[in-house]
Amino acid sequence: MTDLFEPLTLRGVTLRNRIGVSPMCQYSCAPDGRPTEWHLAHLHSRAIGGAGLVIVEATGVSPEARITPQDVGLWEDAQLPAHTELAAAITRAGSVPGIQIAHAGRKASAAAPWIGGMAKEHGWEPVAPSAIAFPGMAMPRAMNEADIQKVIADFTATAKRAIAAGYRFIEVHAAHGYLLHQFLSPLSNQRNDAWGGDFAGRTRLTREVVSAVRAAIPGDVPLAIRFSHTDWTEGGWTTEETVELARQVKALGVDLVDVSSGALVPAQIPIGPGYQVPGAAAVRAGAEIPVAAVGMITEPEQAQQILAEGKADLILLARALLRDPYWPLHAAAALGRTEALRIPPQYDRAWSALGKMALNPAIAEPAPEL
């Protein structure tokens, strides 16, 4: 039975437990796309809180790949120093630093969600496989061959920079209605060339991005990909197609599939605790590949049960960790596994009362200067 606090090894990288920080956009950069003090505090605190993997939010592979002008980017070397500092801080806290690299496609050039609508400053024309707008957003320009080749090159270059910055886990974003997902689904991809049409055509860009990124990063660094396993809409991308594509990208060097769902088009989604876990279980069984489960996983016992039942290999948390950066420590206490996590000595006086915990002296090193 897989334990929530059991290490997980993917290629040459070992996570100290099966808890990860899901990539969560903060919309908190200047238009230069460089991570800020906010990102350092936000992600470093969750590494200190005990997560085995900390994944930096969807990071634009080009300026036009961002969701908003306030997104993190890694499209140029000038952004490297801030990313290097961020990856080092996560590493010093005992977590594996990861990054999700992404292109928003037709969902680009939006304003931050607490503002709503399209960006009024620093905006741009979005691109997509077909000139079909997401409801309420700008009409995108249909991509030509040069645009598509540029996307592949941008993902490749960003992956190389991510390795140079010190990230040890790379995730390609092909979910949530962003560009690669837009190519996958017939609801958004109505091309009749080699990049659309049948399953092979619609999945071609994702496969070529995966192949290029895998070739660009070291062999000991794991490569993950996030899929929306269903569009929750008739005529859209399906779980069965996700399983088949997961088999194909596994053969291309993907080590883990991060299984989410939806967000390509507005849809009625049966949201509830663990509502996306069946999709993760289907991909794990059908493609015989490690998977991460996400979506309304909030309780330690719930996370442990998902692993114990063989439905996932890794639990990625989002809102639960926004509410409580120390969720892993609280989970260890709730499950009677306080010996499994290493606590910073600065915090020992608070946590030692819950039971014996091994200290992590490495975290006692001086924090990096901002």
Q: What is the overall mean pLDDT for the chain?
A: 95
pLDDT digits (tens, 9 = 90+) for 31-75: 999 999 999 999 999 999 999 999 999 999 999 999 999 999 999
Amino acid at 120: K
CA dist 31 and 312 (Å) reads 37
What is the rounded average pLDDT of the residues 346-353? 81
* Structural contact between residues 358 and 339, judged by C-beta atoms closer than 8 angstroms: yes
What local confidence, expressed as pLDDT, does residue 362 receive?
A: 59
List Cβ<8 Å contacts ≥24 apart for 269-273.
Answer: 269/232, 271/296, 272/296, 273/297, 273/298, 273/302
Cβ count within 10 A of residue 112: 17
- Percent of the chain whose predicted confidence (pLDDT) is above 70: 96
What local confidence, expressed as pLDDT, does residue 370 receive?
A: 46
Beta bridge partners of 10: 13
Regarding predicted confidence, which is higher, 354 or 246? 246
**Cα–Cα nearest to 305, from 335, 344, 283:** 335
What is the rounded average pLDDT of the residues 308-336? 96
Region of poorest pLDDT, from 47-61, 286-300, 335-349: 335-349
Q: Which residue of the set 167, 178, 326, 347 is catalytic?
A: 178
CA dist 180 and 172 (Å) reads 9
**Is 238's pLDDT higher than 90?**
yes
178 is known as an active-site residue: yes
Both tokens assigned to 240? 């069965």
Phi, psi (deg, nearest 5) at residue 40: -65, -50
Amino acid at 260: S
**What pTM did the predictor assign?**
0.96
Q: What is the 3-state secondary structure (H, E, C) of the chain?
A: CCCCCCCEEECCEEECCCEEECCCCCCCCCCCCCCCHHHHHHHHHHHHCCCCEEEEEEEECCHHHCCCCCCCECCCHHHHHHHHHHHHHHHHCCCEEEEEEECCHHHCCECCCCCCCECCCCCCCCEECCCCCCCCCCCCEECCHHHHHHHHHHHHHHHHHHHHHCCCEEEEEECCCCHHHHHHCCCCCCCCCCCCCCHHHHHHHHHHHHHHHHHHCCCCCCEEEEEECCCCCCCCCCHHHHHHHHHHHHHCCCCEEEEECCCCCCCCCCCCCCCCHHHHHHHHHHHCCCEEECCCCCCHHHHHHHHHCCCCCEEEECHHHHHCCCHHHHHHHHCCCHHHCEECHHHHHHHHHHCCCEECHHHHCCCCCC
Beta bridge partners of 14: 9
* Structural contact between residues 101 and 170, judged by C-beta atoms closer than 8 angstroms: yes
* Structural contact between residues 227 and 262, judged by C-beta atoms closer than 8 angstroms: no
CA dist 62 and 172 (Å) reads 14
Both tokens assigned to 148? 């598509």
List CB contacts of 47: < 8 A, sequence separation 6 or more: 21, 54, 89, 90, 93, 94, 95
Both tokens assigned to 366? 């001086």
- Percent of the chain whose predicted confidence (pLDDT) is above 90: 90
**Is 143's pLDDT higher than 60?**
yes
* Structural contact between residues 132 and 106, judged by C-beta atoms closer than 8 angstroms: yes
CA dist 159 and 24 (Å) reads 19
Model confidence at 355, pLDDT cuts 50, 70, 90, reads: low
Both tokens assigned to 210? 């995966």
Model confidence at 359, pLDDT cuts 50, 70, 90, reads: low
